[in-house]
Amino acid sequence: MSELIIHTDGGSRGNPGPSAAGFTLAKTDGTQLQAKAFFLGHATNNVAEYTAVVKALEAAKQADAKQLTLYSDSELLVRQVNGQYKVKSEQIKPLFRQAVTLLGGFEKWKVEHVTRDKNKQADELVNRALNLGQDVDMSSILSATTRTKPIRLGVLISGGGRTLMNILEYINYGWLNAKVVLVISSRSTAAGVEKARAAGLDVKIVRKKDLPNIDRFSEKIEQELTAAKVDLVVQGGWLCLWKIPPRYENRVMNIHPALLPSFGGKGMWGAHVHEAVLAAGCKVSGCTVHFCTNQYDKGPIIIQRCCQVEETDSAETLAARVFQQECIAYPQAIKLFAENKLLVQNGKVKIK
């Protein structure tokens, strides 16, 4: 690989305090190859900034890059690496020497300063690692896509809209080639309604109690989805069963906070799921993305992600750990659908 474009960032909350380092690696045509962040524990902001550079350069070397341009929003780091400022901190000197040595291994390199607004992806990676308190690897959803037109999403919500906001983050940072063209809420007072409107999204309220039966309820949902020309329906905290019409067969996804087929079905949502997992003494839990049928939590499984169940877990702490996995799994499933890589045969999903 001849030339790569790198963006790096580091952050420390407290300086020193909890810190993380992140980078993105891309080809010159914009194709993204890697997007990673590393939780460093207690460190300073400058240590995090330099660690990001070192990690990025190591990744570029492994990718067999010959030339590179590295962008950082740390003006101090850029000036030090380019020889304009001296490195005085004894803590930074080893990282500085490591960075300079790595740069010397490339045929040609540039290290340039950018403003923070032009370093958004690296910044977001750092914040994700800090929020989770663990390493983050987004590389699995960054492979080149043959789809040039964004997939049109219709998102169904009943509550706070966390899943919707997570999907919007992936879209806004360029990690998901999609557009949310419609949000349908089954409750007018759901917190997710205001979040969606604040994000400038088209929101429709479709309440089951306003319609005479489930058939009319389902027809109303279908009408709104069809009018918005939705390609894929994404249920995010949607608590209402509706009859999925033939035109949307294998075009409606749901995410469940457990490893289906266990702990699913009517009444198994939110804390009820995690309480059941803990009561059963499970050692692992996780989430499941699946295509929907006309039964609760049934349908072909697309992706599952796991996490440990700790002995000290409450339903709340387990839910938080499972949601971390949900934030990764749903965008992955949407991306696979957008790239036409999901094939349903005999009730099972095959990834092409």
| Distance, CA of 53 to CA of 140 (rounded, Å) | 21
Q: What does each C-alpha distance from 304 to 230, 261, 268, 287, 349 come to in angstroms?
A: 25, 11, 17, 6, 12
Which amino acid, 194? E
| Distance, CA of 232 to CA of 253 (rounded, Å) | 8
Active site residue 113: no
Contact of 326 with 286, CB cutoff 8 Å: no
Of 256, 272, 274, 290, catalytic? 256
Contact of 157 with 238, CB cutoff 8 Å: yes
| Distance, CA of 163 to CA of 238 (rounded, Å) | 10
Dihedral, CA of residue 317, residue 321, residue 322 and residue 326, to nearest 10: 140
Contact of 99 with 50, CB cutoff 8 Å: yes
Contact of 26 with 5, CB cutoff 8 Å: yes
Residues tagged active-site? 256
